[in-house]
Amino acid sequence: MLGVEELRRVVNIGIELTTEKNHNLLLKKMVTSAMDIAECDAGTLYLYVDNALEFKIMRTLSMGVSRGEDGEKIDLPPVPLREGNVCAYAAIHRELINIPDVYTSDRFDFSGPKNYDKITGYRTGSMLVIPLEDSENELVGVLQLMNKHNGHEDPFTEEDEFLIRSLGSMAAISLSEKIYLTEVKDQMHSFVQAFATAVDERTPYNGSHTRKVTEYSAILADYINEIHEKGETEDFFNENRREQLVLAATLHDIGKMIVPLSVMNKATRLDTDLPKVIDRFEFLSVCYERDMYKGKITEEENEKMQQYLSDSLDFIKEIDNAGFMPDEKLERVKDISEHKYVKENGEELPFLNDKETECLMIRKGTLTDKERKIMESHVVMTKRILDQVHFNKRYCNVAKFAAEHHEKLNGKGYPNGLTADELCLESRMLAVCDVYDALTSSDRPYKKPMPKEKAFAILYDMAKYNELEERLVRYLEEALSDPEVEASVV
């Protein structure tokens, strides 16, 4: 009869198993605890995967065998569910099987253990096989114990059967929950990747941006953990905090799904309108030439207009993809826009229409104020989209981090003009990583990539004006100073 101490021991082990968070440690504890309670020499844990039993843990004390305990894969083929195999039979029929000695039993095919004994010199004797089921009676795996008391002459007892079955039930439920949580987490990550892929399909450069911002964010978090270990910062990213940051980075531009491609992929000030301007100037050239032949203007006036059209078109082509536009160039755009050709019916044909003029008057970048507001709206849409997703408490901050990556410490960011006191570390990190990749990216349609040194000079300048956090800029620079780390971002 079982004593109180034995029952208390099993319960304590069961509690330990159900509270273990590390998947590999849980599997290891299942085997070691069962072997300890049953006082046996060997144990093997199989998990039920794809209609077969996959080797997960193998231990033999007398031979010093320990495989799979650190999560490494055991290079043995899975056991198919065929009734001739004792473990497969236990799995199929959900039956505990106690074999006093495999060499005297003809119930199952024990050629495998016997061949193993010939090769290694081991002697397999008693065997206890327990199917592992979860709370919904679904098969989780099989636990196989061998050689009670380190010798084949001792069979497993009824007490062993009761204790190991009880322990196995608790362990199976805990393992099933871990597997379920892993599946849920994997499912969520797959949805996140699907969102990112959707953005990627709309505009390939942004897909690269999403991936690289995610990688930079992870690198920055890992570097912060490194200097935390050195006592240089109080900040630290545990597994969950880091995971939320990475998910937020992957989702930070999901709102760009609603931004028109004409805005998101606008490579120059005029972009697709430049050919229309060229065609119009060629048409105007023909019109003035015709007017000369009809005697409406003199040859000298025609030559003057032809030269003006040629110079103006060259200027337009030049500034279409220029960086910063000084006042004198803006004045010249205004002058060109005020020129009009009057047709025979009195209709006026402007050299530049209102839209073209507005685009060419852009001081810096390629977007008009209206287009920029449309682009900036992606952050609002990111938050709106992610607010429709149910994030449990483990991931409750993902939407917040993702929606704040364009906020600035000085309150001049968007969409909400948050200040330093209102921005958490993760949001500040995403802001740094986002700007860094925007500056250094080689696949943007509207700009050339910037060298790393120049990019960090700009980041430090932004930090000077309290737009970014200076120490995070420094951390990222220090992290990327390692050639191997930098090379990992492809």
The answer to the question of residue 193 being in a domain is no
- Specify whether 361 is located in the same domain as 382: no
The one-letter amino acid code at 104 reads T
In this predicted structure, the answer to whether residue 17 has a pLDDT above a threshold of 80 is no
- Mark whether 16 and 159 lie in a shared domain: yes
Same domain for 24 and 151, yes or no, is: yes
In a domain, 373, yes or no: no
pLDDT digits (tens, 9 = 90+) for 334-384: 999 999 999 888 899 999 999 999 999 999 889 999 999 998 899 989 999
pLDDT digits (tens, 9 = 90+) for 44-91: 999 998 899 999 999 999 999 999 888 888 988 999 998 889 999 999
User: Does 301 fall in a domain?
Assistant: yes
Q: What is the DSSP string of 379-394?
A: HHHHHHHHTTS---GG
What CATH number is associated with residue 101? 3.30.450.40
pLDDT score at 238: 94
Provide the pLDDT for residue 443: 62
Give the end of a domain, one of 345, 366, 387.
Answer: 366
Residues 335 and 386 in one domain: no
Q: Would you state the pLDDT for residue 137?
A: 83
| pLDDT, position 290 | 94
Pair 474, 332 in one domain? no
Does the structure show a pLDDT above 50 at 1? Answer: no
Quick one: 28 and 65 in the same domain? Answer: yes
CA angle 19/21/23 to nearest 5° reads: 120
pLDDT, average across residues 467-481: 96
Neighbours of 103 (CB within 10 A): 14
Percent of the chain with pLDDT over 90: 55
- Among 303, 337, 366, give the residue marking a domain's end: 366
Residue 279 and residue 252 share a domain: no
pLDDT surpassing 70 at residue 152: no
Looking at the domain assignment, is residue 192 inside a domain?
A: no
Tell me whether residue 266 is in a domain: no
Assign residue 475 the CATH number of its domain.
Answer: 1.10.3210.10
* Helix, strand or coil, per DSSP, at residue 128: strand
| Neighbouring residues of 363: CB distance < 8 A, sequence distance ≥ 6 | 324, 325, 330
Number of domains comprising the chain: 3
- 278: domain range? 271-366
Residue that terminates a domain, selected from 118, 152, 182: 182
At residue 151, the pLDDT reads: 58
Same domain, 153 and 207: no
Evaluate whether residue 131 is within a structural domain.
yes
Tokens 């935390």 sit on residue: 228
Cβ contacts of 118 within 8 Å, gap of 6 or more: none
Local structure of 396: helix, strand or coil: coil
CA–CA distance, 8 with 14 (Å, rounded to integer) = 10
**Residue 322 within any structural domain of the chain:** yes
Report the alpha-carbon distance of residue 336 to residue 331 in Å, rounded. 9
Quick one: 418 and 341 in the same domain? no
Claim to verify: residue 231 and residue 119 sit in the same structural domain? no
By percentage, how much of the chain surpasses pLDDT 70?
A: 92
Q: Are residues 171 and 218 in the same domain?
A: no
Same domain, 30 and 130: yes
378/405 Cα distance (integer angstroms): 11
Residue 390 lies in a domain: yes
Average pLDDT value for the chain: 88
Most confidently predicted of 105-114, 162-171, 333-342? 333-342
Is the Cα torsion angle 252, 256, 262, 263 positive or negative in sign?
A: negative
